[in-house]
A and B are shown apart, each in its own frame.
Chain A
Amino acid sequence: MSFDNSSAVGVLEPILERYSRNPHHLMQILRETQEHLDFIPQWATDYLAEALALPRTQIQSVIDFYAFFYDSPRGKYRILFSDNVTDRMQGNMALLSRMLSKFGLTQGQASGDGLLSINTTSCTGMCDQGPALLVNNHAITRLSSQRIDQICELIKEKKPLAEWPAEFFRVEDNIRRKDVLLATEMVNGQALKRAIELGPKGMLAEMKASNFRGRGGAGFTTAVKWEACRNAPGTTRYVVCNADEGEPGTFKDRVLMASFSERVFEGMTIAGYAIGAAKGFVYLRGEYRYMLEKLQATLEARRKANLLGKDILGQKGFDFDIEIHMGAGSYVCGEETALIESLEGKPGKPRIRPPFPVTHGYLDQPTVVNNVETLAKATLIAQNGGAWYHGLGTKLSTGTKLLSISGDCDHPGIYEYPFGVRIAQILEDCGARNAMAVQVGGAAGTCVARHEFGRKIAFEDVSTSGALMVFGNNRDMFEVARNFMHFFKHESCGFCTPCRVGTTLICDTLDKIANGKGTAYEMNELSRLHQLLRSASHCGLGQSAGRPVNDTLQKFRPSYDRRLKQKDFEPAFDLDAALIPAREITARDDIDAHLGADQ
């Protein structure tokens, strides 16, 4: 498409107006542009660069960084199959092949008629109801051959998404076990009223008394974070709700955002009150785009009820409002400084820490970044007090934890347990009868083998951001690790040498082993690369990227060993494959054009 001033004005101007031509909203502007145009053409980039006074290359770098932005046509229907290991176990690859062959396409290729493209994407957070896919960033769950065939028909008929059966897009909560958070009725504003009665200092004191630790995985004490932000010098403070739930196998924040968003928003407002912030952001992962309109309606209702906006609940000077920022397919944005970069309209590359966000966060101002579950639970502490909360769970891990359970079990879904619950108990409750291993905390987490099922879910034992994937007796733990490694390679931001190159080298080594060319040499290489990534990488992504390989090497060594050749070394270089271009040029593929054919 060539530059067409009328479509630029017609499409882009309303979007630019909606975001006040603020370059910090670049991600949202690009998302809406793509929702209108199916991709972001060169002329749109040029127009936006001019309108936002940004270098054109800066906009290009944002489009290039995020997996869900396209600068070339990818079709009217952009299909992305979720490719977590749980989707694999549910048979997503066969469904992907089925769809590709229906259209005669290869993976990643856009059809010549501009109708569609089909590819894979990282875990979309539908592990309890997979296999799943995204069509134009809207989730379709519970895929089957039949459902794939129906989708193919709808695409061939060029039916708009709005006319596709609503059943396709149904996302279940699958709440299986409720504890204090999920079982307590929420009365809007009640927790906030209580927080106002306590005052900011009083609320902080309750948080302190609860000894509550952040639920995003790192387990930092929330009260310490809030207080550090409150005391940091700065003109404006921010609360950021991290709903960029990208860890493979995690979907508890999806359920909280879908069905408990009042609690999350109220928790954010309480945090804003306690630290003295007037503005909050929800950073919602791009895969949860389908929730956006409903969440915005909830925010609007809260404004009407004076639970957001100016002088909240009649409290003079207590102003707070919330904005939703959609991500666009980048796992590393779950890291708080990468998330802030993304909020500012830039590629999500982690910053150098220190300084930490509590002093230098969004726009270099003091910022609290909390996980969805953390903020939701702050409402419980406001209502019932810190001492009450401290009585739940274990001494070092107070309260409850939401777990997203998927994989080989009868009842996948959301389970809320007090901290300290044993893994064996969880497996019994979710109907996992033949579990051989459990991956706790997602790809970056811990692989727990059967002899360790007596261990507890707690910061002091097996720590988790909330994922728990069950692997039955028949599963191949080498393939599990390989799936996770390819995920990290795809999600590495490319900033630092060890993670950028190292994740690729580990993947290549695992692929070599999978191709039957691995030897004892590769096993040493894997350990050496893991050690480097762990100690030298810039952020948590690189530091933990080698963990699934390291854990499975230690605990499921036979799954590697049985693939190895009984040699010290086997070259990865394939002499015969190197002759492919020569065969193509000479149009030969007979036996004499191959090396080693006589063997």
Chain B
Amino acid sequence: MNTENTFIIDGSPIPFEPGQTVLEAALKADVFIPHLCYFPGLRPNGNCKLCTISINGKHSSACTTLARPGSEIENNTPALNDKRRLMLQMLFVEGNHFCPGCEKSGNCQLQALAYELEMMTPHFNHFFPNRKVDASHPEAFLDMNRCITCGLCVQASRDVDKKNIFILSGRGMASHVVINSPSGNLGDSDFSMSDKAASVCPVGAILPKHRGYSVPIGKRLYDGVPISSQTEFLKTRKA
């Protein structure tokens, strides 16, 4: 192993190629760092903060931090996982997430991380916001109750599909995704289920129509194998 391009995560050496972020290099080495707003091939966002790590004693987002030789990184520690659990609880109470009735259950990264980090309760009072459900498109549902404003659909639509259909608007707690169409409805846009933007959502905010529960609950992606053991899947997703 080339010791020059190596850093340490929780005591283990991780090789990296110059230009790689800590998260990319870790995933490549099958070391799991929790994340929601990162998707291979899309420019790192750094907004969910689930991948918060400690580099040489300083907190930072693994998805936006370039790997440097010799860095000493803490990742899977009780203190960091406590912070991550707190942020998951924040995301759960901020939106309306009812897993038992959600088609994404079992395939949802938010739910999988909650299991992974042993989030037993939402802890805080639910905000119960009024969010939009848009069923105007023939192929897709848009359920903003589940949106965590990670911005992946915005990026995929802009940078991969070149359609600019989604954009984040508002500020603070009023941040929300809006649709670039005359009526503001997805049905009025040129969105298609074959768009990259249709398949990057880590939660169940963008779902296909005419197909439900084709794989039964209990047999889905994260049902049998925890997300922390699925680095192979996570790193080979393509934007």
Contact = CB atoms under 8 A, between A and B. Distances in A.
B169 A535 contact: no
Interface stretch (B9-17, B45-53, B137-145, B206-214): B45-53
Given A60-B178, A536-B87, A347 B171 contact: yes
A501 B94 contact: yes
Given A64-B169, A494-B149, A573-B125, A532 B86 contact: yes
Contacts of B215: none
Given A57-B178, A505-B124, A532-B83, A497 B91 contact: yes
A352 B62 CA distance: 12
A498 B90 contact: yes
A310 B180 CA distance: 43
Given A536-B52, A538-B49, A494 B173 contact: yes
Nearest to A56: B180
B169 A55 contact: no
Contacts of B219: none
A497 B171 contact: no
Interface in B173-223: 173-175, 178-180
Contacts of A121: none
Given A55-B164, A352-B64, A536 B83 contact: yes
B59 A57 contact: no
A58 interface: yes
A490 interface: yes
A505 B90 contact: yes
Interface string A501-527: 111110010000000000000000000
Interface in B136-171: 148-149, 164, 167-171
Contact of B48 (A330, A489, A497): A497
Interface in A393-450: none
A490 B172 contact: yes
Given A501-B91, A528-B86, A535 B52 contact: yes
B69 interface: no
A538 B46 contact: yes
A492 B47 CA distance: 13
A352 B87 contact: no
Which one of A531, A535, A537 has the greatest number of beta carbons of chain B within 10 Å?
Answer: A535
A148 interface: no
Nearest to B93: A501
A472 B168 CA distance: 44
Nearest to A512: B125
Contacts of B87: 497-498, 501, 532, 536
A569 interface: no
Interface in B44-78: 44, 46-50, 52, 59, 61, 64
A504 B52 CA distance: 21
B90 A502 contact: yes
A150 interface: no
Contacts of B172: 489-494, 500, 503-504
Contact of A572 (B83, B91, B125, B174): B125
A61 interface: yes
A492 B174 CA distance: 10
Contact of B49 (A58, A60, A493, A536): A536
A491 B86 CA distance: 22
A496 interface: yes
A61 B167 contact: yes
A359 B90 CA distance: 35
Contacts of B167: 55, 57-58, 60-61
A388 interface: no
Interface string A307-336: 000000000000000000000001000000
Interface in A43-101: 55-58, 60-61, 64-65
B36 to A, nearest CB: 9
Which one of B50, B148, B149, B172 has the greatest number of beta carbons of chain A within 10 Å?
Answer: B172
A495 interface: yes
Contact of A504 (B59, B91, B173): B173
A500 B169 contact: no
Contacts of B52: 535-536
Contact of A501 (B46, B50, B173, B179): B173
Contacts of A537: 49
Interface in B110-155: 124-125, 127, 148-149
Nearest to A508: B125
Given A58-B167, A64-B174, A496 B49 contact: yes
Interface in A536-591: 536-538, 572-573
Contacts of A57: 164, 167, 169, 178-180
Given A492-B171, A498-B90, A500-B172, A352 B83 contact: no
Contacts of A65: 169-171
A330 B167 CA distance: 20
Contacts of A503: 172
B67 to A, nearest CB: 14
Given A490-B172, A501-B173, A573-B125, A538 B47 contact: yes
Nearest to A348: B171
Nearest to A489: B172
Contacts of B90: 497-498, 501-502, 505
B131 to A, nearest CB: 14
Which one of A493, A494, A537 has the greatest number of beta carbons of chain B within 10 Å?
Answer: A494
Contact of A64 (B83, B171, B179, B180): B171
Contacts of B47: 495-497, 538
Contacts of B149: 494, 500
A494 B93 contact: no
A61 B178 contact: yes
Interface in A470-495: 489-495
A65 B94 CA distance: 19
B63 to A, nearest CB: 9
A491 B169 CA distance: 15
A497 B93 contact: no
A498 B44 CA distance: 18
Contacts of B44: 352
Contacts of A529: 86
Given A352-B46, A528-B86, A500 B173 contact: yes
A55 B180 CA distance: 7
Interface in A357-412: none
10 contacts: A60-B178, A64-B174, A65-B170, A330-B171, A494-B174, A501-B90, A501-B173, A532-B83, A535-B83, A538-B61
Given A57-B180, A65-B170, A538-B61, 9 more contacts: A61-B169, A492-B171, A492-B173, A494-B149, A494-B172, A496-B46, A496-B49, A497-B48, A497-B50
Interface of A: 55-58, 60-61, 64-65, 330, 347, 352, 489-498, 500-505, 508, 528-529, 531-532, 535-538, 572-573
- State the 6 A-B residue pairs at the shortest beta-carbon distance, nearest first: A494-B175, A501-B90, A61-B169, A57-B180, A535-B59, A57-B167
